[in-house]
Structure 1
Amino acid sequence: VGQINEYQKHYQPLVSEHSYRWDRPEDYRSWISNVEMLRAFAFQRPLTIYDELHNIFGGSISIFPNPSSDLINLRLPWLAEHVTINIFSASGMQVRQDLFTAVDRVSINHKLDQGVYIIQVIFDHQVHSGKLIVCR
């Protein structure tokens, strides 16, 4: 439901122009009605709606090259307003944090010692994590 609220907040300012241009939805009130029906469905079937939203909007991130020697690239499934990237050692200690705004791709020159790390990427109220292998 929180994700529906986020989408509503994001798209609401555009609905009137879209309705005028394309006649879909018929008008602003119809759009609000559709959002309310979606929200009611989400309350009744939260896992179903989560899976559908994730399938449509929630692709995974790509981390490459992996293994890496000094530079990693991350590709997000869409443009994210605020992105936090945390890197943790195998023992769980945070060794690096990077913050980005309005990105769908980032490159990080990590300068980490050889080893296995956990990389955590946080954006749009989602947390993705994966393994990063550093070879020298």
Structure 2
Amino acid sequence: MRSLIMRSLTSPRPKRNPDAIEVLVVDALRTSGTPLSAYQLSDVLASSGHKLSASQAYRTLARLMDRDIVQRIETLSAYVAKDEESDIVLVCGRCHAVQRLKQPRLKAHLENIAASHAFAIDAFVLEVTGHCTTCRDSLPSSPIE
């Protein structure tokens, strides 16, 4: 028994391929329904039998963001898989549902405003918080004064 324990403590665990970890992360983000933080991602993967530390999750998410596969939702400090490009993100402050919209005219307008002030845009992040239809309908109505 002691030799079995010692062998398990001293023998290295096989390392997972970063590509395999990326596939697990993207699949978890796509199936979650809501944006996930690195810690939530670790929990989701652990519940399906895939141990992933938060630091591994952050490193993997950084690689995926560099390749434009994952998008960080700044308002929630969470991540979603990118299926397509979007210019604006609507974030429900109650249920954290996210809608990503393509609005090229809005983006162009903001780029023109920046250019007219001799400002060079490095990144374009436009998030709007509010309430989705479901949450808005369940909010108590305020009395009219």
Instruction: Give the TM-score category using the shorter length.
Output: under 0.3
**Structure 1-normalised TM-score?**
0.25
The structure where strand makes up a greater share of residues is 1
**Structure 2-normalised TM-score?**
0.24
